[in-house]
Chains A and B, each alone.
Chain A
Amino acid sequence: MDKRLLSIVRKELRRVFTDRRLVMTVLILPGLSIALIYSVMGMITGDMNSQRDLHTYRLVVHEAPGNFSDYLEGRCEDRFLLTEKEDSGDALEASLEALRAETVDGVLVFDEGFEKRLEDFKRADSNPNVNVFYNPVSDYSGDAYRWLTTEILPEYREAILGERLGNPAYARVFTVNQDNLNPSVASEEKISSMILGSLMPIFISIFLFAGAMNIGIDMLAGEKERGTLATILLTPVKRETVALGKMISLAIVAMGSTISSLAGILVTLPLSSSLFGGIDMADISVSLDQWLFLGAALVLLAGVYVTLILSLSMIASSVKEAGAYVTPVYMVVLVSGMMAAMGFGGDHLRNYLIPVFGNVLVLRDIFVDEVTWWGFLTNSGVSLLVILMLLLVFRRIFKMERYLYGG
């Protein structure tokens, strides 16, 4: 190997790691921002959960049967604050308006003569009805609706049926999960890895790109603009060697960003525990083959990003121009990360053929422990092809003289 390649890599790394400003943006900032985002997210969700536990749901009930209020109070104590209304004409409009304004969490409208029709059930040709209204804008209203329709009203119905049959147990027919206090079979570990797994790829991918973008643009467009690249090219060193040296250095720097963001996630896990439902660090065990997959996936992701960024900043003659070229790619990276986090794309092998998006999919698969050889190999093949193509393009542009003087 050419020893000059090593000299170039050493110089590039020295350039980055002895510059306080660059060390900040590449090594400190990614970890710090993730730590911040995670802690804030954890605090907000924790806050929301504790508020929900304290909230009193305000209901307006029209034409309530005589015993409904007692039933509700007996069942849920003081979680509901009931306001009863007689008619269901103009008063109903007012209630719905209050629901829209979020001063009320739910509106129940019983049919006129609900109670009487229940008593005459043998003669009636149809059953009485109750309408439940909620406001999807409000989380509290959504909670109240779910609670009313899946638990309280069915149980109220069951109680009435029990009265008809003379024994509440007859109406119950069978119970569900009576003694099963822990119905979820997924382990804590699996749940936490699902949540972590869907979030990690976005952060890794974004910080990898952002770090490589800042440094990469400066490494080429910046050096061109400042005239320092031409000085290096005036030595007998081969242009390929300079190009390769920059590429390797940028990949190393990008990996630094990634490690920093990983560290940020690990450090804040205890702080953001409410977000992840109290993960014990010991629960996040990563097996050896997962590490191998992760290593390979990260190298390929870095390769794709680094070649993309360097090719684009090679075309540009100034830092500003390079920024304009790289920003749209950054958007693609952001959207890909978000889509993968929301669970899109993993169901079709063809999605793994898409550069960038496929790479993020593989990362997500690794973190949720669902990586398949097909997905991994398909994406690795595509990534290698993209890297190779961009490398050829990059080398070609680098060899063309006219791009070497900026401006």
Chain B
Amino acid sequence: MKKKALHKRTVEAVRGIDFEVKPGEIYGLLGPNGAGKTTTLRCISTLMRPTAGTVEVGGLNTVSAGERVRERISFLTNDLKLDEHFSPDFTMKFFGELRQMSPKAIEERKDVLFEALRITGFKNQPIKEFSTGMRQKLAIAVSLLHDPEVVVFDEPTNGLDVITARTVTELLLAMKQDKKTILVSTHEMSVAEGLCDRIGILISGSLVMEGTLEHILKTTGTRSLADAFFWLYKEYGGENG
């Protein structure tokens, strides 16, 4: 159903990545800094064009049908920012309009997300007065506004405290129940272990292993994901390629 393949031959980028995420599944892309997680997710979310290979979301090519892919997808990454001058309330309205939602639908969805992410208390405050965690929560709310089928989150719990991080993982699990297709990237073992159904390990731009946690532990002959990760990192040469 959903097939994502990406080959990128430029120096220091991703190459030879081929994986698939199914509805009702959370797929975790695990990799060290600079492995190419963000690059991969950018290509999937249509923000970047792969130089070779194809990426498909729900059977739609991200290059030729970018607009329709963007209708179905939610993308969260660190360098997508919201205008700090506006309040969460206005921001949601504006993005709802851009997604051609009715004013009523925007209101309803906004209330649900603000409640789930505990934003309601400061929904009329300008974003410039927000802390990192508040900003992250609002960015998540904006990205999920249109109730997308495919959710692509780049390090969603990065910089969040335990409580806020738990709010986010609970939201992701609820979306999994709703049969959404979820792809998250992380370098935190605990997130990958606790949240993901399947894990893909990305090292120096290559997908070196993928599968369930059990499968990875068995193949590498290790007892924990962290051990498996170190083993693979050494095996595949880390940053030296």
Contact A405 B71 (CB under 8 A): no
Contact A228 B83 (CB under 8 A): yes
- Which B residues, 67 to 84, have Cβ-Cβ distances below 8 Å to chain A? 67-68, 70-71, 75, 79-84
Contact B100 A234 (CB under 8 A): no
- Which A residues, 177 to 226, have Cβ-Cβ distances below 8 Å to chain B? 223, 226
- Within the complex, the shortest CB–CB distance from A240 to chain B, in Å, comes to 11
Residue of A14, A227, A233, A235 touching B99 (CB-CB under 8 A): A235
In whole angstroms, what is the CA distance A253 to B20 when docked? 48
A15 on the B face (CB < 8 A) = yes
Q: A227-B79, A234-B47 known; 10 other A-B pairs, CB under 8 Å?
A: A3-B97, A14-B90, A18-B85, A226-B84, A227-B81, A232-B98, A235-B95, A235-B98, A236-B98, A404-B47
A11 on the B face (CB < 8 A) = yes
Interface residues on A, range: 20 to 34
Q: Which residues of B contact A235 (CB under 8 A)?
A: 70, 95, 98-99
In whole angstroms, what is the CA distance A223 to B75 when docked? 18
A residues lining the B interface (CB < 8 Å): 3-4, 7-8, 11, 14-15, 18-19, 223, 226-228, 230-238, 401, 404-405
How many chain B residues touch A (CB < 8 A): the figure is 26
In whole angstroms, what is the CA distance A319 to B47 when docked? 22
Contact B70 A234 (CB under 8 A): yes
- Within the complex, the shortest CB–CB distance from A253 to chain B, in Å, comes to 15
In whole angstroms, what is the CA distance A238 to B67 when docked? 8
Contact B47 A230 (CB under 8 A): yes
- Within the complex, the shortest CB–CB distance from A7 to chain B, in Å, comes to 4
Q: Which residues of B contact A232 (CB under 8 A)?
A: 98
Residue of B90, B97, B142 touching A4 (CB-CB under 8 A): B97
Q: Which residues of B contact A401 (CB under 8 A)?
A: 47-49
A–B complex contacts, Cβ < 8 Å, 20 sampled: A4-B98, A4-B100, A7-B94, A11-B94, A15-B85, A227-B79, A230-B47, A230-B79, A231-B81, A232-B98, A233-B47, A234-B46, A234-B75, A234-B80, A235-B95, A236-B68, A236-B100, A237-B98, A238-B67, A405-B47
- Within the complex, the shortest CB–CB distance from A214 to chain B, in Å, comes to 15
